[in-house]
Amino acid sequence: MKLDKVICPCKKVKRIDVLQAIADGAVTLGQIEKKTGAMSKCGKCKQDIKKLMKKLEDL
């Protein structure tokens, strides 16, 4: 997985930023939004972020 791939173009949030937010304790989409700003504009990245969270759960 390329960690520096932008997952939310609106806010220029990368996968690694989402992972960092989760490492810092974010467990819900709302908390990830609060910490990173992702999903706060068009919301199109929401599904991709959900998928990323699911991948982590499956580890």
**Four-point Cα dihedral 47, 52, 58, 59, nearest 10:** 180
Q: How far is the CB of 30 from ligand FES (least distance, A)?
A: 14
Nearest to 46 by CA among 16, 24, 13, 23: 13
12 lines the binding site for ligand FES (CB under 6 A):
no
Among positions 9, 12, 24, 51, the unique one binding ligand FES when judged by CB under 6 A:
9
10 lines the binding site for ligand FES (CB under 6 A):
yes
Radius of gyration from C-alpha coordinates of the chain: 10
The site for ligand FES (CB under 6 A) is made up of 8-11, 38-45
